[in-house]
Amino acid sequence: MIERTRESALLRALGLTRGQLRRMLLCEAALMAALAAVLGIGLGSAFGLAMVRALSTRANGRIVPSVPYTQLALYALISACAGLPRSCRPAGPPAPQW
């Protein structure tokens, strides 16, 4: 966070307004959260389907995979919203030193 604060201070010194800096940090955080959600859901689904196939062959094909699309969408939304409030911290006023 200290490094990000210094980077933000440099960008502000170069002429970025507070709003532009916040918008840049929000976009960056949203992209990182979206990428993490896509990778997490994709890899989790792939490993889950691989496990179902492995168990299905041992159970003579009696296991049927089901994908909870609504839960996956909810988790993607939660992951996208989780990082956004904290992404603006380096752009705001300095934190008090205790």
In a domain, 96, yes or no: no
Please report, in tens digits, the pLDDT of each residue of the chain (98 residues total): 567 788 888 888 999 888 888 888 888 888 888 888 889 889 998 998 888 888 887 777 677 778 888 998 898 888 777 767 766 665 555 555 55
Is residue 7 one of the residues assigned to a domain?
Answer: yes
Rounded to an integer, what distance in angstroms lies between the CA atom of residue 40 and that of residue 9?
Answer: 33
pLDDT of residue 2: 66
pTM of the model: 0.67
Is 57 contained in some domain?
Answer: yes
Q: Which amino acid is at 92?
A: G
- The reply to whether 84 falls in a domain is yes
In a domain, 66, yes or no: yes
In a domain, 97, yes or no: no
Owning domain of residue 66: 2-91
Q: Is residue 46 part of a domain?
A: yes
Number of structural domains in the chain: 1
pLDDT one-digit tens code per residue, 49-62 = 888 888 887 777 67
What lies within 8 Å, CB to CB, of 1 at 6+ separation is: 89, 90
